[in-house]
Amino acid sequence: MRHTVVATALLASAALFLPEAGAGAATDTASPRASAVAASAAPAALRVAPVRSATVLTGLDHPWDIAFISSSQFLFTQRDRRTISLGTVNGGKRVVGRSGTIWASGETGLMALELAPDFARTRAFYTCHGYSSGSTRDVRVVRWRLNKARTSARIVKTIVRGLPATSGRHGGCALAFSRGGALLIGTGDAAVGRNPQRLRSGGGKVLRVDARTGRGVKTNPYARSRYAMKRRVYTYGHRNVQDLARRGRQVWSVEQGSYRDDEVNRLRRKGNYGWNPVPGYNESVPMTDHGLPGKQRAARWRSGGSTLATTAAAWLRGSVWGNRSGKVLAVTALKGEQVRLLRFSRKGRLTGQSVALQGQYGRLRAVTVAPGGALYVSTSNGGGTDRIIRVLPG
């Protein structure tokens, strides 16, 4: 969802951005603790960005990620069907990859999809998925290869294994390549309280690895550790990372909150983002606990008193967006049923926000930009009712 991801046809002009809506900006109910604030959800206070949209594909089930491989074709995953499919901008689709060991339960299944930087030559791409075989259950990152005819794909190598999995809750897994070519892997905490702050666990982290071997890169903060997983750690203290979006050298994460405070974070090497739900799994603690030892990184945006269930994110890119290119981050939401448009300064300060597609298609999951600038967004309503939508400026 970063693969060039453009944030929606939103904004006919920069004037569509209003000042930050503040802590009440989230919509929808979350947990019972959040229900009291849901009625005052703030999208009504946000400027609506005009867009025009059209359905490209239908009959899908939780399409989780989309990556364009040409101007007319894209790959996409379906979480619960555990398939990789090839779609076309004219509405065609066919399954090209599957594996019997992919495990789907709750929030976990076949999730993120990221093209290798040299995809045009190697036809290699990466996915995150739940894995189950015998007594083994975890979340894994694997490399696939698409054949020349683009009719089938097969797993070539498992890059990282052993990311924690329990019931399937908080199995979020996001992929992106850094500017230097390392593979970044954002993970969920598997609803285990000690995982986010425990550096030997792969849960609640952003890992940075060599995409060929899966080993931690030499410039990682704990590269000399005796523990393989710790050597991979780039940042920690996350709850449930859903996506990663790169802007130049900067890497940003989208993270789902507990009963409040979905977050957009700018990642810093060795950064602790403050999630520490202990003892047990205590979700009443702050998303960013500044009482922990050391310095915790503050979020660049929060949803406030209720959650939107934020999912994917992408920076607007290209001349079609004018001076908005590289300044506006589009963030999709499940409960919020919207694309939230966040404008950030070059230094990462939030300067305004707006909203698009509010309630038009239900729960929104993936966001990717096609060659030429159209935005492709997926829904996540389930039951075979999902679709992929093309969005253009209104």
Q: Which residue has the higher pLDDT, 374 or 96?
A: 96
SS3 for 40-60 is: CCHHHHCCECCEEEEEEEEEE
Instruction: Write down the pLDDT at residue 298.
Output: 87
pLDDT of 39 over the 70 cut: no
User: Pairing relation of β-strands 93-98 and 51-60?
Assistant: unpaired
- Residues 6+ away with beta carbon under 8 Å from 171: 106, 107, 108, 111, 130, 139, 165, 188, 190
Of the chain, the percentage scoring pLDDT greater than 70 comes to 88
* CB-CB contact of 126 with 113 (8 Å): yes
pLDDT of 316 over the 50 cut: yes
Band (pLDDT 50/70/90 cuts) for residue 30 is very low
Band (pLDDT 50/70/90 cuts) for residue 126 is very high
* CB-CB contact of 87 with 118 (8 Å): no
Instruction: Write down the pLDDT at residue 241.
Output: 98
DSSP 319: G
**Model pTM score:** 0.89
pLDDT of 41 over the 70 cut: no
Residue 98 DSSP SS3: strand
* CB-CB contact of 1 with 312 (8 Å): yes
Distance CA(91)–CA(89), nearest Å, equals 6
SS3 content of the chain, % helix, strand, coil (to 5): 5, 40, 50
User: Which tokens belong to 214?
Assistant: 């899966």
pLDDT of 44 over the 60 cut: no
Mean pLDDT of 69-89: 97
Q: Which backbone phi and psi does 130 adopt, to 5 degrees? A: -70, 150
Query: Considering the domain 14-393 in this protein, what is its CATH number?
Result: 2.120.10.30
Helix residue ranges per DSSP H, 105-145: 119-122
Q: Which of 37-41, 105-109, 136-140, 274-278 has the lowest mean pLDDT?
A: 37-41
User: pLDDT of 233-259, one tens digit each?
Assistant: 999 999 999 999 999 999 999 999 999
Q: Which of 184-193, 292-301, 382-391 has the lowest mean pLDDT?
A: 292-301
Band (pLDDT 50/70/90 cuts) for residue 18 is very low
Band (pLDDT 50/70/90 cuts) for residue 31 is very low
C-alpha separations of 285 from 176, 189, 261, 304, 391 in Å: 29, 15, 11, 14, 38
* CB-CB contact of 301 with 313 (8 Å): no
Band (pLDDT 50/70/90 cuts) for residue 326 is confident
Instruction: Write down the pLDDT at residue 317.
Output: 80
Instruction: Write down the pLDDT at residue 28.
Output: 28
User: pLDDT of 274-315, one tens digit each?
Assistant: 999 999 999 999 999 998 888 889 899 999 999 999 999 988
pLDDT of 40 over the 80 cut: no
Instruction: Write down the pLDDT at residue 384.
Output: 97
DSSP 385: -
* CB-CB contact of 260 with 251 (8 Å): no
Strand partners, 178: none
User: Pairing relation of β-strands 124-133 and 110-115?
Assistant: antiparallel
pLDDT of 25 over the 90 cut: no
